[in-house]
Structure formats: C-alpha cells, structure tokens
Amino acid sequence: MLAQALDTQATQEFASDVRHYLSKTPQRELHSKYLYDDVGTALFEVITLLPEYGLTRADERLLKANADAIVRRLPVPTIVAELGSGSGRKTRWILEALAKRGYVLYYPIDVSASALHACRNELGTIESVHIVEIEGAYIEGLKAVTARRSPGESLLLLFLGSTIGNFERGPAEEFLREIRALLRPDDSLLLGTDLVKPVEQLLAAYDDPTGVTAAFNLNLLARINRELGADFELRNFRHEARYNETERRIEMHLRSETAQTVNIPAADFQMTLRAGETIWTESSHKFGLAEVQRLARSTGFVCVEQWIDPEWPFAENLLTVGSP
C-alpha cells in the first residue's frame, strides 16, 4: 500500500476512536496508545529521566544486573522480539548477554517509525545482533515474527516497562492469552511490572513538579488539534493524576477548567464539557508479586522467576509456556 493510503487509514482509525471514546458516558475517555506520537514519545523519554519517576531506571537496573541469569534459562538458539521497543535502551543488556552464545535475531515491534529508528541507532552496533524492524501493532507484529521463524528457534518475547499496566485487569489477561496462543513450548515472555507502593510516591511520579507529565498528557489534545483539525484550547485543561485504591492504579485525567465546546472536524464530532468534567487518558495498574504468578497461571504460562529492584519496587517476571 502507498504511504499516503496507510496514513489516511491510520488517521481515520484515530478519528473514529476519538469520537467513540469521547462519547462515553458518564466518563469521557481517550485511548492511551495515542499519547505516543513523536512529541509524546519524546516527552515520555524525558519522564524517564525525572527523579520522581523511578520506574524506567528500576527496569533498566534489573535487566542490567540479571541479564546473564535470565539468558541462562533460555534454550539455544533463541530469537528475541519486543512489544513496544521504544528507544531500545534497556534491551541492550539482554541482547549482549545472548550474543555471548552466538548470533541473535532481534525483532523490535513498534507502531512508531521514529522509535524503530532510535532503536537501530541504540542497538545496531552490537556485535552478532541482527535487527529486523516490525512497524505495527503488538499482536499483528508478533504474528509476523512467529510466521518467519524456523522450527528449531525458541522465542524470547519482551514486554517491558510495565506497559501491561495500561490494560485493565480483564483485558490484560485476554492479551496475555492471545500472546500465549502464538507461542510454542520452550518460548518465554519477560514481563516487566511496576509494583504497588506508597500512594504519595506514585502521585509524585505521575504529577511531577516540573510539569513534564502534564505536558505529556496535554499533548494528546494538541495531537488531536494537529491531526484532526480540532480546536482544543489547551490552557483550559489541567493535568490530574489520581490513585484508585480499589483498582490499584494511577489514572491520568485532563480536567476542563471551564464549560467549553470543542469541535473535531475530521472526526465529525462536537462536544460540550462541563466545568470540572474530566477526560480519562491513561491507567497505570500496579501489581503484587503473587498476583503476577496467578496471572501467568491463568493465561497458560508459568512464572519461573521474579527479580525485584530494591530501590523502586518493580519486578521483572520470566514466564515460560507451561505444560498443559
């Protein structure tokens, strides 16, 4: 397909999702996957540097410290695929550890072409590692990988950074089952999960005093303005992070500070927001260690090991395809 046609298709899907999620009652929503356009991706990279946001550093520390231990559990040869590779920075340790045993094929899967470029820049020079970029959504990308591999190759699938936390708990389970259905015995899934921690610590991580997370959240409205011709007045909205105790998750919202009407021409949509009404843009679920083990079991995996960061409660969980 022509790039132009793909672009039009993506924009139409964005428009119809925006209309659908903003129409939800009583709580309007936007899908968190749309936070990551080029601006959003760059802002998220800054978030990972904030002192209040320890998640990414914990993820990286764990992978760096335990790459050899993780790799020791994998058959030879093992190829690697990653869901939402981003810049690929934390993947280096796993690839280097695997490359000690021989040639490694690495498939980063990402919807963002710029993330895939960054990934090649970051990892393209590691000796014995061959990168094949897959531009696309998670499941379609994973299907493309499994369709290409040879019978003797095991797969290590990486799903890092607690991105699983963006799913509600039911859909997270369904998603893991879908992944499981595409895997074979001997395959594994390395799943990063942010752990439950004191509420004050979580609120500071998702509402930092420099306002980077606020910019990251507000950029979603700016993106709708840019791509769908909308007239969101960004200064009339405020970033808000809440902890939902029952669901054990951080919720990001955008609060309309006044009563206002917004037009989104490309989505053929108009809405009037009440003063104080919010648009829910993202959830970040937090996990317990035993919960991850149960989640693995209930989706056809076995959690064989968990590595926990002592500084910022976060776990790297190695799941293998269980015997039936």
**Per CB under 6 A, 163 contacts ligand AVJ:** yes
Residue 19, CA distances (Å) to 30, 227, 228, 265 in order? 9, 14, 11, 11
State residue 250 phi and psi, 5-degree precision: -85, 135
Please compute Rg for the chain using Cα positions: 20
Using CB under 6 A as the binding criterion, the count of chain residues that bind ligand AVJ stands at 11
Q: Is 91 in the site for ligand AVJ (CB under 6 A)?
A: no
As measured in angstroms, the least distance from the Cβ of 212 to ligand AVJ is 9
Type of residue at 198:
P
DSSP strand pairing (249-256 vs 237-244): antiparallel
Residue number, 35 or 129, with CB nearest to ligand AVJ: 35
Among positions 96, 110, 282, 316, the unique one binding ligand AVJ when judged by CB under 6 A? 282
Distance, CA of 134 to CA of 111 (rounded, Å): 8
Shortest CB 312 distance to ligand AVJ, Å: 12
Out of 22, 43, 55, 318, name the contact with ligand AVJ by CB under 6 A: 55
Question: DSSP secondary-structure letter at 165?
Answer: G
- Please state, in angstroms and rounded to a whole number, the distance separating the CA atoms of residues 286 and 100: 34
78-93 as b/e: b if 16+ CB within 10 A? bbbbbbbbbbbbbbbb
Smaller CB distance to ligand AVJ: residue 159 or 269?
Answer: 159
Kindly state whether residue 43 participates in binding ligand AVJ, applying the rule CB under 6 A.
no
Site for ligand AVJ in 1-30 (CB under 6 A): none
Distance from first CA to last CA of the chain, Å, rounded?
Answer: 41
Let me know: does 59 contact 160? Beta carbons within 8 Å: yes
Judged by CB under 6 A, the chain residues 122 through 161 that form the site for ligand AVJ are 161
Question: Which one of residues 66, 87, 193, 213 is an interface residue with ligand AVJ (CB under 6 A)?
Answer: 213
Of 114 and 260, nearer to ligand AVJ (C-beta) is 114
Q: Kindly state the smallest distance separating residue 215's Cβ from ligand AVJ, in Å.
A: 11
Which one of 85, 112, 154, 162 is in contact with ligand AVJ (CB under 6 A)? 162
Residue appearing with tokens 């970051």 = 122
Residue found under tokens 């409660």: 313
47/94 with CB nearer ligand AVJ? 47
Using CB under 6 A, pick the residue from 40, 141, 165, 313 that binds ligand AVJ.
165
CB of 138 to ligand AVJ, least distance (A): 13
Both tokens of 133, joined, read 């970029």
| Contact residues: ligand AVJ, CB under 6 A | 47, 55, 161-163, 165-166, 206, 213, 282, 284
